[in-house]
Structure 1
């Protein structure tokens, strides 16, 4: 497959998400083969745009750049790989004679649909779909009714060639290391991770840093450091190509560990997890902890069952051979169809702008919520500290009050005892005084009686004397 110049269109190149990785891997593959690569996007940004720049002879253009058509006309591409309804004006013109591949990577995302089917039908050498499910759903919608069935093919998210060369990690007696890849991990899967025994280790890659994930590109180097993968979609293809057991589960549910019994059904749905029931956290944890050995036994057979289109190089070679054998129709796109396509592209740009603005607002809202949560946590911590301080003060006050009460009670008891003693002594004194008083009274009475008798005796003496 010798190409001189390849054009790829993609709505954005910013983050490590599915379609952006598809575009990056295509650009890297074509550039490594010696081709010049032009990537046209509505929105570009770090870190993915930097990876594009490092891929070789790759140039990133904005879809609104006024010099794009002149650039393409001066050096027409041999292949235009079109995604997300972005078709430069030159490719729509009768002057463009290269092959056209229109890639549909979802049956649910609006920009992945055939929004201008007449343009695609006349322009595309072949329309490809990331899974049989995507092809069937778009076919059932009626947008492909007038398409030549020979120009509709499944191109199922093949993995870069070097991933198929990954050497298995030597684990020894250590824990099973599973790579969890997700930008939208569901609650039950997050809870299951917390239930895993020490014999299972999780490496979490994704955009949800608040849940412990680290944004990173999943490549051959990373896959060589793990024993298995937990993910959906394109990452499942990576795992199978690398010979790693894969637990297929995420926000849409999933079958769990893939084997020969469920891999065909899972692949039909692009390994998205659709078509299977959701599981609870305890079930997921049990399966992750005890199902690895059985899943590992099925890896080689699954890789063989998926066939050569599991790997990007062979898959592209087969697709290019099909393009060479089936040249695209004579363009003949009338002005009305071109205008319709340009309107679709404009809507795509508006959608991208709105999405980016919503993402910025979402990021700002998330930051505000995070800041509010931190303030709330700080307030709760301060309230807890204040409550603890108040509790200590109350306890200290209660202890001091109890001590004072005890001291006062002891003093009162001593004073009461002293008063009782004094009362007892007073009563004894009063009794003694009474006894003394009575004794004194008796003595006085006896003395008075004696005096009376003496006086009476003297009176008698006086009366007996002669006058």
Structure 2
């Protein structure tokens, strides 16, 4: 089985280069290749679209890369530098593809002339290469494409516009405003992109609309499907694609930079309505152009044909670009470490799956938590599996409405760790709280999440119930009036083996062992059932130190006994 290594800065969001990398990787595995993708960072939602046979390897996992591949298919030159000169990975053939004439790391490697094939996205980009001093005789055009499987169903055009689809991660203000204007005319407008409806744009999605307003690859797909396409975004645009402008707009990657015409919201609405009928007349002509110029299967066959004409000569490459052995690691190493630090500050849901309960990091799915409501849906598995669900990677978070496969699960019926039940909520008591559920052939999960520390602070600062021991930084919160409870958040300045909570009769109410306490993160909640509560730290088998004493009967005069840390 032939092995291909692909590179892209990120594999996590619905951006152009990320979606392109995943689309081609999936094509390769469907056609019998073994595929790895090397990236700085991976995550959801895009990972859900990656074929399970593709290995996505981030910087921290780079030791898992093979020493040799049959092909390297690279985006973003610092990653190719890193692989060739720092990791010393070799491939018989290397294809480098730049997807932009403007982004910094879409530039070409210094040794582009030594590669098997180097490609650019458009004729506009090729001209920009010439201006920047590159030798254009080395450049192939690898345009945005459409795959044959996307064209199983074609669009049936209507006589009038009823619905419009806008696809953009940088929607201009005038386009934002046309939504309200169109809707007053009875025409619905949906906007897809980072700040709007965020999902993968597919042929099935586009076929639901009468007009597409976008740039780039979405236009390629829309034209091939037979949908009227209006090229417009932050550069301005070319208007409706017709047989008159399709060739020139294609040379500029349907970016809007061919004409760069800017319009007001009113002018856009008028142009879209008035030009619709004329655009419909050219639909078949434009579809024919699409099949001739950006059908993926034709483009990639030509790329491999050209690649095979020039196998890599590593002796010559290393001799001519010796300095890159020192320079090449810089970008990827620095940014890989930085991305790791960024990720440590983020919240994640991580789902481990295994047939026998032996869970491992390699057989897990990590999803960044970015909303208060967390949802996850898996595809059906061919067999029943056991799941360990790490609900959040941080202590001190409240989890409500936990629903697994359509059922609200009682926590006492599940195998759990690091979770405390408070009323109907679950509180994460450490950085690795989990529930385990067995024998499922699919997993559908949802819950609400919030910072429990913030909730407590917001509720009790105003009531003046918060008292802080400035030396120990142990924060105490009184909760409720009729059934009072004491909530303790312990700082990382206290590192005992055990915390012991006793009442005024010296009876142990609760004891907590082996936690890595963190400031404003680890929470202990106990019922107050006596007039006096004392909290001790036990640093060895014999010694107990009193952290504080809380006299419930004298709420406004709390007595503390301090100890030195």
Instruction: Give your verdict on TM over 0.5.
Output: yes
**1:280-317 Cα shifts (integer Å, max 9, x gaps):** 11110111223222212222212323453412222111
Question: Does residue 162 of structure 2 align to residue 176 of structure 1?
Answer: yes
Q: Does the 8 Å CA contact 1:14/1:20 hold for their aligned counterparts?
A: yes
Deviation of residue 274 (structure 1)?
Answer: 1.4
- Give TM-score, length-normalised by structure 2: 0.56
Per-residue deviation, 1:44? 1.2
Distance 1:215 1:45 in 2: 15
Residue in 1 that maps onto 2:279: 295
Hey, what does 2:116 align to over in structure 1?
125
Q: Cα deviations across residues 225-280 of structure 1 (Å, max 9, x unaligned)?
A: 22231101111111112221100000110011111222222222211111322111
Deviations 1:354-393 (A, max 9, x none): 79999999xxxx99xxxxxxxxxxxxxxxxxxxxxxxxxx
Q: Quote the RMSD (CA, aligned, Å).
A: 3.2
1:188: Cα distance to partner?
A: 1.0
Task: Give the match's secondary structure for 2:253.
Answer: coil
For the 8 Å contact 2:28–2:35, the answer to whether it is kept is yes
- The answer to whether the aligner puts 1:187 opposite 2:173 as a matched pair is yes
1:78 to 2:76 alignment: no
Shift of 1:165: 2.5
How many pairs align? Answer: 345
Aligned partners of 1:193 and 1:285 also within 8 Å: no
Give runs of aligned pairs for residues 424-439 of structure 1, distance below 5 A. Answer: none
Q: Please tell me whether the aligned partners of residues 113 and 138 of structure 1 are also in contact (alpha carbons under 8 angstroms).
A: no
Counterpart of 2:255? 272
Quick check: 2:219–2:229 contact (8 Å CA) kept in 1?
A: yes
* Residue in structure 1 matched with residue 321 of structure 2 by the alignment: 337
SS at match of 1:25: helix
Q: Does 1:137 align with 2:135?
A: no
Higher strand share: 2
Name the SS for the 1:346 alignment partner.
Answer: helix
Kindly state the Cα deviation for residue 184 of structure 1 after the two structures are TM-superposed.
0.8
Distance 1:167 1:185 in 2: 27
1:324 to 284, 308, 316: 308
Aligned position for 1:41? 39
Structure 1 unmatched runs, 5+: 368-467
Cα distance in 2 between the residues matched to 1:359 and 1:254: 37
- SS of 2:80 mapped into structure 1: coil
Deviation at 1:138, TM superposition (A): 1.7
In structure 2, distance between residues paired with 1:358 and 1:169:
47
Q: TM-score when scaled to structure 1? A: 0.67
SS at match of 1:332: helix
Of 87-96 and 13-22, the range deviating more from structure 2? 87-96
SS in 1 for 2:165: strand
Bigger proportion of residues as helix: 1
Q: 1:95 to 1:22 in 2, by over 3 A?
A: closer
Corresponding residue SS for 2:330? helix
Q: Does 1:238 align with 2:221?
A: yes
Give the number of the structure whose alpha-carbon radius of gyration is greater: 1
> Which runs of 5 or more residues in structure 2 are unaligned?
346-369, 372-565
How far the C-alpha of 1:125 sits from its partner, in A, is 0.8
